[in-house]
């Protein structure tokens, strides 16, 4: 039996969250696993496996937006996970992101949080906060911002006190 069973930081990492908890409490830059609770099909069932992988994957939280109302229609809060980049020879050809509504039926688990001292390169527009880069330090973030031009980038240092409070577990 492990000695880390009663460690609160270990318990928080293994907690299962719903979409509302991700929007409310999980900081940008966190790596999340999303899943639907169904067992993985055998490799020989290619179509079923492909459909299962569409609902069971991992990604880095890169964007959150608050709930809003357009006219008389309410829209739930949303968030976006970065699933991967594809390309060759250092050139990114395709960026794969996946958006979720806070009301999604999928569940989420925190795999890795940004370490204190890391630097987020963000932009804020119209109630949306988007993560463009998670750098190991301020020098790397500044070098990246000089090379990649975004409108009004913000460098934000990840703090020691940035703990995930799990208000709405699934």
Tens digits of residue pLDDT in 103-113: 999 999 999 99
Kindly report the length of the chain: 170
Tens digits of residue pLDDT in 26-59: 999 999 999 999 999 999 999 999 999 999 999 9
- CA dist., res. 39 & res. 37, Å (int): 7
> Please, which residues have CB within 8 angstroms of residue 163's CB and are 6 or more apart in sequence?
12
Model pTM?
0.81
Q: What is the pLDDT of residue 83?
A: 95
Q: What is the pLDDT of residue 129?
A: 82
Q: Is 6 helix (H, G, I), strand (E, B) or coil?
A: helix
Half-sphere exposure of 56 (CA within 13 A, CB side): 13
> Please, which residues have CB within 8 angstroms of residue 15's CB and are 6 or more apart in sequence?
109, 110, 166, 169
Q: Which of 42, 166, 27, 29 is nearest to 107 (CA)?
A: 166
Tens digits of residue pLDDT in 70-127: 888 998 999 999 999 999 988 889 999 999 999 999 999 999 999 999 999 998 887 6
Residue 11 has pLDDT above 70, yes or no: no
Domain residue ranges in the chain? 3-113, 115-164
Q: Residue 100's beta-bridge partner residues?
A: 79
């Amino acid at each position: 039996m492990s000695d880390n069973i009663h460690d609160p930081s270990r318990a928080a990492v293994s907690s299962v969250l719903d979409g509302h908890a991700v929007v409310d409490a999980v900081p940008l830059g966190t790596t999340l696993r999303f899943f639907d609770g169904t067992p993985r099909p055998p490799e020989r069932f290619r179509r079923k496996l492909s459909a299962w992988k569409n609902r069971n994957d991992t990604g880095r939280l890169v964007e959150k937006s608050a709930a809003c109302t357009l006219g008389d229609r309410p829209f739930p809060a949303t968030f976006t996970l970065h699933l991967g980049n594809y390309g060759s020879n250092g050139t990114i050809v395709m960026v794969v992101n996946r958006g979720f509504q806070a009301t999604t039926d999928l569940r989420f688990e925190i795999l890795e949080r940004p370490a204190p001292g890391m630097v987020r390169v963000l932009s804020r527009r119209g109630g949306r906060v988007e993560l463009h880069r998670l750098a190991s330090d301020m020098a790397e973030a500044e070098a990246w911002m000089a090379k990649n031009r975004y409108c009004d980038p913000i460098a934000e240092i990840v703090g020691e006190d940035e703990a995930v409070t799990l208000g709405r577990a699934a």
